[in-house]
């Protein structure tokens, strides 16, 4: 949600921000509604004062004068009710308009309509060379007998998979390694959050109302979480926290559910784009002065996982047209997949500043003044896609998978995964 005071004071800057998102100017429409609302509020308040003054004279009047005064008071009451109705209608229009507009990009964000305008920040690690043609993860997993897309299709339809045996353990090992590192080394607090949320939570983080088609809804009016960002960020929904408690750094390993409504025909084979997958999510709640620094820290926490796994990756600064709705600035981490011969996204780390906090009414007390918190979120990392990266980068010519050294403590005595 946008700050109406900022729009009043900086209408041109606001419209320039929307232009970077390839949207039409909206400040004039917003300010016209805002002006009309304030005019009606003034009229309503004046009438309330007049009614109060008239009522104070009531006891001093005779019966005939009282009857006349009662008629005047009733007329004023009717006018106030009409004003309140109009104010409510304008409020609804204003909220609907403001909640439909995405966050304004940070000045550092490159302007562009899509991923073609994303900027490479850095590349880490060399592209591995093999003396054989590397296979994609789905071929490796199927040949091992540990990824079953066919049976999952019978049971659940497309974009589902059974992960079995040692690959199931490997996925669990990856998630546990991530959680241990983020909690033990980087000071995140582990949370087991609800996987079902109400409208207010999905609205708070920006999934509703605009992106409902991307979510799964239950018949109890709950939404399955598309990422743990939703329940973790909403831990401060409708709260005022002490500045002394900030930053709050939270992490969770959860299943995630997405309809992939706009992904028809894309990544139809394998685990890259699934309706159900798991992620280790990172969320930070900060004061307004510290969110930019926190974004860089979060990015380093996420990339450290790939550093430890010794897998090559690149970091991208997303363009204004490729960023998510709630983000002011986003870094994507893209991991090298030898089976595909290209980099693929494995994490997005975003600073939303006060955009989500205004929707959640999430504030902190600073010097006796309540301010909106800043919220950040990132994958640390997508667990399924990390499994893909391990399979493709650690594959051997015979189709077996060498377990990365850092994961060995989580895998018992299994050093190489072979077909049973």
pLDDT at res. 275: 95
105 lies in a domain?
no
Q: Could you tell me the pLDDT band of residue 269, with boundaries at 50, 70 and 90?
A: confident
Please state which of the ranges 30-39, 259-268, 339-348 shows the lowest mean pLDDT. Answer: 259-268
Do 138 and 269 reside in the same domain of the chain?
Answer: yes
> Does residue 131 form part of some domain?
yes
CATH number at residue 251: 3.30.930.10
In terms of domains, do 174 and 304 share one?
yes
Does one domain contain both 68 and 180?
Answer: no
Question: Are residues 218 and 293 located together in one domain of the fold?
Answer: yes
**Is 314 contained in some domain?**
yes
Answer whether residue 109 is part of any domain.
no
List the domain range (segments joined by +) for residue 16.
4-100
**CA dihedral sign, ordered 227, 232, 237, 241:** negative
Same domain? For 67 and 197 the reply is no
- Same domain for 190 and 251? yes
Residues 88 and 15 in one domain: yes
In this structure, is residue 61 part of a structural domain? Answer: yes
Same domain? 140 vs 85: no
- Asked, for residue 107, whether it belongs to a domain, the answer is no
In a domain, 108, yes or no: no
Where residue 62 sits, what CATH number does that domain have? 1.10.287.40
Give the separation between CA 353 and CA 389, rounded to whole angstroms.
Answer: 31
User: Looking at 100, 135, 153, which one is the last position of a domain?
Assistant: 100
- Domain boundary residue, one of 100, 134, 167: 100
The yes-or-no verdict on residue 219 having pLDDT over 70 is: yes
The verdict on 339 and 316 lying in the same domain is yes
Which residue in the block uniquely carries the two structure tokens 């990172």?
Answer: 282
Report the alpha-carbon distance of residue 75 to residue 81 in Å, rounded.
10
Quote the pLDDT of residue 262: 64
When pLDDT is averaged across residues 206-235 and rounded to a whole number, the result is 96
Dihedral of the CA atoms 209, 215, 205, 186 (nearest 10)? -170
Tally of structural domains, the chain: 2
Active-site positions read: 258, 273, 345, 348, 385
Do 79 and 200 sit in the same domain of this protein?
A: no
Domain end among 67, 100, 133: 100
For 37-72, the pLDDT digits (tens) are 999 999 999 998 888 887 777 656 656 666 676 788
Same domain, yes or no: 34 and 133: no
Q: Mean pLDDT across the stretch 327-341?
A: 98
167-205 tens-digit pLDDT: 999 999 999 999 999 999 999 999 999 999 999 999 999
Q: ω before 247 within 30° of 0 (cis)? A: yes
How far is residue 37's CA from residue 412's CA, in Å, rounded to a whole number? 66
Q: Are residues 150 and 212 in the same domain?
A: yes
Is residue 110 one of the residues assigned to a domain? no
| Average pLDDT for 258-276 | 83
């Amino acid at each position: 949600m946008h700050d109406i005071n900022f729009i009043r004071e900086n209408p041109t800057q606001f419209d320039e921000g929307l232009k970077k998102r390839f949207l039409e100017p909206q400040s004039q429409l917003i300010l016209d509604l805002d002006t009309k609302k304030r005019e009606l509020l003034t009229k309503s308040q004046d009438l309330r004062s007049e009614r109060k003054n008239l009522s104070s004279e009531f006891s001093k009047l005779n019966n005939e004068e009282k009857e006349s005064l009662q008629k005047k008071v009733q007329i004023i009451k009717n006018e106030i009710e009409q004003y309140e109705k109009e104010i409510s209608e304008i409020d609804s229009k204003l909220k609907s308009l403001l909640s439909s507009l995405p966050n304004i990009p940070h000045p550092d964000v490159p302007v562009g309509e899509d991923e073609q305008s994303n900027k490479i920040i850095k590349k880490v690690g060399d592209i591995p060379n093999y003396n054989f043609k590397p296979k994609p993860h789905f071929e490796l997993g199927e040949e091992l007998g540990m990824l079953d897309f066919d049976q999952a299709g019978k049971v659940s339809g497309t974009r589902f998979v059974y992960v079995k045996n040692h690959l199931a353990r490997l996925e669990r090992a990856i998630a546990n390694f991530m959680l241990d590192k983020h909690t033990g080394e980087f000071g995140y607090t582990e949370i087991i959050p609800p996987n079902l949320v109400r409208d207010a939570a999905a609205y708070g983080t920006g999934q509703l109302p605009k992106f409902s088609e991307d979510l799964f809804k239950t018949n109890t009016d709950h939404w399955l979480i598309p990422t743990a960002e939703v329940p973790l960020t909403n831990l401060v929904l409708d709260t005022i926290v002490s500045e002394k408690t900030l930053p709050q750094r939270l992490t969770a390993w959860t299943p995630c559910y997405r309809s992939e409504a706009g992904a028809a025909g894309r990544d139809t084979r394998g685990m890259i784009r699934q309706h159900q997958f798991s992620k280790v999510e990172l969320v930070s709640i900060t004061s307004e002065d510290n969110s930019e620094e926190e974004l860089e820290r979060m990015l380093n926490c996420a990339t450290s996982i790939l550093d430890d796994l010794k897998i090559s990756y690149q970091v991208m600064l997303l363009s204004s047209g490729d960023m998510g709705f709630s983000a002011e600035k986003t870094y994507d981490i893209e991991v090298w997949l030898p089976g595909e011969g290209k980099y693929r996204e494995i994490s997005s780390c975003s600073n939303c500043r006060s955009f989500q906090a205004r929707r959640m009414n999430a504030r902190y007390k600073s010097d006796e003044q309540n301010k909106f918190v800043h919220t950040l979120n990132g994958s640390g990392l997508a667990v399924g896609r990390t499994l893909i990266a391990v399979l493709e980068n650690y594959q051997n010519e015979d189709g077996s998978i060498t377990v990365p050294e850092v994961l060995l403590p989580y895998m018992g005595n299994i050093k190489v995964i072979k077909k049973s």
